[in-house]
A and B are shown apart, each in its own frame.
Chain A
Amino acid sequence: MTAASTPTPPGATEGTTPEAPEETATGGGVRTAGTAGTAGTDERLVHRSLLQRMLGRPELGAVVGAIAVFVVFSVVADSFLRASSLSTVLYASSTLGIMAVPVALLMIGGEFDLSTGVMVTSSSLVSSMFSYQMTANVWVGVGVSLLVTLGIGLFNGYMLVRTGLPSFIITLGTFLMLTGLNLGLTKLISGTVSTKTISDMEGFASAKALFASELTIGPADIQVTVVWWLVLVALATWLLLRTKAGNWIFAVGGGQHTARAVGVPVARTKIGLYLGVALGAWISGQHLLFNYDVVQSGEGVGNELIYIAAAVIGGCLLTGGYGSAVGAAVGAFIFGMTSKGIVYAQWEPDWFKFFLGAMLLVAVLLNAYIRKRAEANR
C-alpha cells in the first residue's frame, strides 16, 4: 500500500481509481468510496454489476427514504407537487444542505462540529456590522466575514489537533462562546440585539445577486442557494472520490493512527475539514444576511444538530470513515420535504419534530441493514 505522502494539489489525480486505505481495527467500515472490498487480491479489478455497486453506496438508504417521503406527501398534500411548492421545498433543503455537505465531510473524517449553527449567524453578523460600522462597501464586509469565519474554523481544527481532546468537547466550547459573542458583541456594537439595515449601502445589490437572488426557470422561482448547494455537492463528491485529499479524509476517519502510519497528513486533513465547514457557514451566513437584510443575533442555536442529522440520514457513520456528500444532500432534501410537506398536508406542526426523529432512526436502521446486505454479497 503506497499512499503518497507528498501533497499534490487536488485535481492532479493519477488517473487510476483511488487506493484503498488499510482495513483498521476501529470497525469503522473503511472502504474506498465507490469501489469496495476487503484487502486481498486486487479488488479494483474485480468486475461488479451495477446493482452491486449501487447497493454498496452509502446514500442508498437515504435515496429510498427520500422517494418514500416524496410519495407520501404527493399523495396526502394536493399542493405539494406544484412548481411553486417544490421550489419552496428545494429552497428549504438548500439552506440546510449547504451546511450538511461540509458537515458530512467532517464526519467522514471522524470528527464533529457543534458550533456550525451559531457560526452561520456569526458569519452574517460580522459581515453586516463591519460594513455598517465602517461605512464600507458591503463586499468588504463579506470578505472580512470570510476571514473571520475561516478563523473560527481554524481555531476548531487547530485546537483539535493540538490538544487531542474530542472534537465534541472543543466545538461545544466554541458553540457556547460564539452564542455569547453573537449576542454580546451585537448589543455592544449596534446597541440592539439585531443588526442595522444595510440594504441602502453600496454593493448590496450585487452581493444579493450572488447570495440571495431568485432565478426564474419556467414556472418556478429557484433560489440561488439551490445552485450553491448543488455546486457544493458536486465539488465535495469530486473531492471525496477523485482526489488524494478525499482518500485522506476516508483514511483519517477510519483510523487516524493507521492513517498517520501510512503517511497521511492527519492534522492538515482535519484542519482542512474544519475550514470546509467554516466555508459552508460563511455561504449560509451571507445568504441569510442578503436575503433578509437584518440579522437577529440569537439565531442559529440548535441547527448544528439538524445538519448532523441530515448527514447521518444520508449514510454517514458517527464513527467516521464512511458516508457521502450526495447522501448528506439527500438527507437535507428529506428534511426540507418533511418540514414543508407537513404544512402542505396541513397537519399539526406540533408533530414535526416527532416525524423527524422517527425518520432519523428509520433511516439509520435502513442504512445499517443495506450496508450489511451489501457487505454480505461481496
Chain B
Amino acid sequence: MDSFRNSSAWPPSRRRTGTPVARAATAVLLLVSVALTGCSATGGKRAEEARDAAVSGGAGVDTPRWKIAMVSHSGEGDTFWDIVQSGAKQAAAKDNIDFHYSHDKEAGRQAQLVKAAVDNKVDGLIVSLAKPEAMKGALRKAEKAGIPVVTINSGQDQSKEYGALAHIGQDEKIAGEAVGRELNERGRKKAVCLLHEQGNVGHEERCRGVRETFDGEVRDLHADGTNMPAVESSLEAELQSDRDIDTVVTLGAPFAPTAVKAAEGAGSKAETVTFDLNDQAARGLKDGSIGFAVDQQPYLQGYEAVDLLWAERYNANMLGGGKPVLTGPQILTKKDASTLQKYTKRGTR
C-alpha cells in the first residue's frame, strides 16, 4: 500500500504529455464530439419523446386540487408497480389530483407509510393488501380520519372487512384457472410453475389455480427472483432432469425471457407462458418464443383507483357493488403482440 503513497511513485507514468487538466479537457472534448456525431437513427430518447408527444394531454376537470396517496408493498425498482404508477399518474393529471406514491416490501413498514399518509391528511388513499393483517390498524386509522380507501392488486377478501370502498385487481386463483384451461386447449401434459418470490401468497394462489383446471401434472419450482442467473440455472436443471415437461409457467414477465433461455440451454421443448406483461414479453409473444401471457392490466389498477376516488369525492359514486372490480385475467397471444408493443415500450402495459 505504502508504495502508492510515496510521492516519487505517483503518478506512476510520466510519459503522457500535458497536465492532468489538459488531458481531462481533451477527453471531455472527444466525448462530446463523439456524442454529437454518433447519433442513432432508431429508438432512443428521441423516439420516446415523439411517442410521448402523441399521447400527452392536460387536465380535463375543474374540481379543486385533491391529494391522493398510494402505498404499495412493492420492493425497489419494480417494473409492475411502475406501470401501476403511470396509470395512477395519468388519471391524476386528468382529474387535477396531487398524487403521491410510497412503498415498502416489509409489512410493518408499509403500515407505517399508510399511517404517514393519514397524518398527511390526504383526500383519498390507495393501498395494496399483500399482507392484509398488517394493514388492519392503519386502515382503521384512515377510517377514523374519514379518508376514503380503495384497495388494489391484492387483498380482495379483506378489502371490505377493513372498510375499503372498493377493490380493484385480479383474482389470482381465477387467473391461474384461466391459464390451466388455456393449457388444456393447447394439449399440454406437464407444466412447471416457477415461484420467484418465496412468501408471496398471491403467487401460490396462481399455481393453485393452474393446478385446479389443468388436466396434466403441475410441479412447483422455487427460485430466488432477485438473482436471475440462479433462476435460470435452477430451471435449466429442472428441464434437464425431466424431458417430459412441455410448459414453463412464470409468474412475472421479467422471468419469461429467462425461462426461454433456460429451455434453450437445456435443449428442452418446453414452451414458456407467463403471467403479466412487459416489453420483452411482448416481443416474445411476437416472435413466438412465449406462448401466451395472462395480463392483469396494472395500468388500469392505478388509473381506476385514482379515478374512483375522484368520482367518490366529486359525485359520491363507487364501482363494484361491494364486489371486487376485476382487471384480469386477459389472455394475450401472438395476434395482440404488435399492438401491445407500442404500449409496453411506453411503459403503460
Contacts and interface: CB of A to CB of B under 8 A. Distances in A.
A and B are interacting partners: yes
Interface of A: 79, 82, 84-85, 88, 91-92, 95, 183, 192-194, 197, 288, 291-294, 296-300, 303, 339-340, 342-344, 346, 349-350, 353
B20 interface: no
B137 interface: yes
A300 B106 CA distance: 8
B160 interface: no
A79 B201 contact: no
Contacts of B100: 343, 346
28 contacts: A79-B121, A82-B119, A84-B119, A88-B112, A88-B116, A88-B119, A91-B112, A183-B198, A193-B198, A193-B204, A194-B199, A288-B108, A292-B108, A292-B131, A292-B134, A293-B136, A294-B131, A296-B107, A296-B131, A339-B109, A340-B112, A340-B116, A343-B117, A344-B116, A344-B120, A349-B102, A349-B103, A350-B76
Contacts of B113: 340, 343
A298 B137 contact: no
Nearest to B120: A79
Interface string B99-128: 011110011110111011111110000000
Chain A interface main SS type: helix
A272 B70 CA distance: 44
Scoring B76, B77, B121, B198 by chain A CB atoms within 10 A of each residue's CB, the highest score goes to: B198
B199 A193 contact: yes
B133 interface: yes
A45 to B, nearest CB: 41
B116 A343 contact: yes
Contacts of B134: 291-292, 294
Nearest to A183: B198
Interface of B: 76-77, 100-103, 106-109, 111-113, 115-121, 131, 133-134, 136-137, 197-201, 204
Chain B interface main SS type: helix
A293 B133 contact: yes
Contacts, number: 83
Contacts of B204: 192-193
Contacts of A197: 133
Contacts of B133: 197, 292-294
Contacts of B197: 298
Given A88-B112, A92-B112, A298 B119 contact: no
Scoring B119, B136, B201 by chain A CB atoms within 10 A of each residue's CB, the highest score goes to: B119
A85 B112 CA distance: 10
Contacts of A342: 102
A297 B199 CA distance: 6
A79 B199 contact: no
Contacts of A340: 112-113, 116
A190 to B, nearest CB: 12
Contact of B101 (A92, A194, A297, A349): A349
The 5 closest A-B pairs by CB, nearest first: A298-B199, A292-B134, A294-B133, A85-B119, A193-B199
Contacts of A183: 198-199
B120 A343 contact: yes
Contacts of A293: 133, 136
B265 to A, nearest CB: 26
Contacts of A346: 100, 120
A288 B137 CA distance: 13
A287 to B, nearest CB: 9
Contacts of B76: 350, 353
